[in-house]
Amino acid sequence: MIRIIRWIVLPLSFIYLFVVWFRNLLYDWGILKSRSFDIPTIVVGNLAVGGTGKSPMTEYLIQLLSKDYKVATLSRGYGRKTKGFREVSMDSTAMEVGDEPLQFKRKFPHVTVAVSEDRCAGVEKLKEQHDIVILDDAYQHRRLKPGFSILLLDYASFHKPILPLPTGDFRDNFSAVKRADVVVVTKCPSNLTAKEKQTITHKIRRYTAAPLLYTQIGYSTPLNVQQQPLAADLNNLDIVLFCGIAKPQPLISYLEQKNNRIHPLIFPDHHPFSKQDYKRIRLTYEELSCENKIILTTEKDIQRIQLESFKDLPLFYIPIHLLVMDFSQKTLDTLIRDCVSRPHNRPSSF
């Protein structure tokens, strides 16, 4: 039914596409102003809504750069109930700062993590005390002109019509890939064929000659809330999997490939879990008659849940990371380091 409704509102998609195209044109012509800064600013973004792997890419950049530079990350803080600029602390809550920024802070305590709807205002507050600002999900924030843009395109999006919202999933015209300094196709299958790559590459090369890389999502050993790894191998288990992420299917497929029996409880992206949800999760777990069973969620979801609701249950979360395919990791690292090391101009408007 939802799919039918989305096709019915196709005319709205063309109106949306025109508005986005016209807005981008005003920025391209300089009628609407963009601001640049005198420190490296790296934007990680996408064209479609949700689930392209922005968080793993942001974490990849933090790991690559934070050893040599004082790094700050800046996000909108999607799902938070607060407004304005806010620095994330270890005892912040997802309701205050959003789940992904909280994940960054807890994973990298030495890095400054901040949230602000106004990215320019956020960079202005961070620039004096930091060498680099990484902006998560800011590709459409045209008021800021980044020093380097990393555009992520989900592999699965190339297997369905590339249509704008609300009929499709794209929030920007596909031709916006021309603004990227590097294009990364994410969440690729391990058996990606040369023919598939050729087809995807052809679509992208119509708009840009920027470096093009292909990546996968890697899954690490599940951890409990005390950061202790799962003692048993992650196979032949009954797993109550609950998550509120945009695209849970890759995780489900990964777990099924390891001969696990999955009992999924899928919620909307950034879902605020309620007492009823916790009861449902507990009941699903208790109804399993087997002994080798666990409750599993994602690293993003663990930031939003009340751990007290699981204090007597085997709750684990599974971290993910970025895997660059085709021996291209050195290429990506070099592109990023070159951007950071080159001289930056004084701030200006365009």
Residue with tokens 């109930």: 81
Partnered with residue 297 across adjacent β-strands are 317
Indicate if 174 and 284 belong to the same structural domain.
no
Pairing of strands 132-136, 71-75: parallel
DSSP 8-state code for residue 160: S
Residue 346 pLDDT > 50: no
Neighbours of 289 (CB within 10 A): 7
- Residues 52, 173: one domain? yes
Q: Of the candidates 239, 245, 283, 281, which has an alpha carbon nearest to the alpha carbon of residue 262? A: 239
Question: What's the mean per-residue pLDDT of the chain?
Answer: 94
We report the CATH number of the domain holding residue 243 as 3.40.50
Q: Tell me, yes or no, whether 7 and 150 share the same domain.
A: yes
Of 30-44, 154-168, 187-201, 269-283, where does mean pLDDT reach its minimum? 154-168
Report whether pLDDT(66) > 90: yes
**Residue the block writes with tokens 């409750």:** 295
3-state DSSP assignment of residue 145: coil
Residue 349 lies in a domain: no
Whether 112 and 125 map to the same domain: the answer is yes
Q: Could you tell me the CATH number of the domain that includes residue 78?
A: 3.40.50.300
pLDDT digits (tens, 9 = 90+) for 179-236: 999 999 999 999 999 999 999 999 999 999 999 999 999 999 999 999 999 998 999 9
pLDDT tens, residue by residue, 102-141: 999 999 999 999 999 999 999 999 999 999 999 999 999 9
Are 211 and 230 found together in one domain?
Answer: no
Whole-angstrom distance, CA of residue 291 vs CA of residue 128: 55
Task: Tell me whether residue 36 is in a domain.
Answer: yes
- The reply to whether 270 and 166 lie within a common domain is no
Number of separate domains in the chain: 2
- Show the CA angle centred on residue 177, arms to residues 172 and 168, nearest 5°: 35
* Residue at 350 is within a domain: no
Domain that holds residue 12: 2-218+325-343
DSSP string, 48-110: BSS-S-HHHHHHHHHHHHTTTS-EEEEE--TT-S--S-EE--TT--HHHH-HHHHHHHHH-TT
Same domain, 205 and 244: no
User: Residue 239 pLDDT more than 70?
Assistant: yes
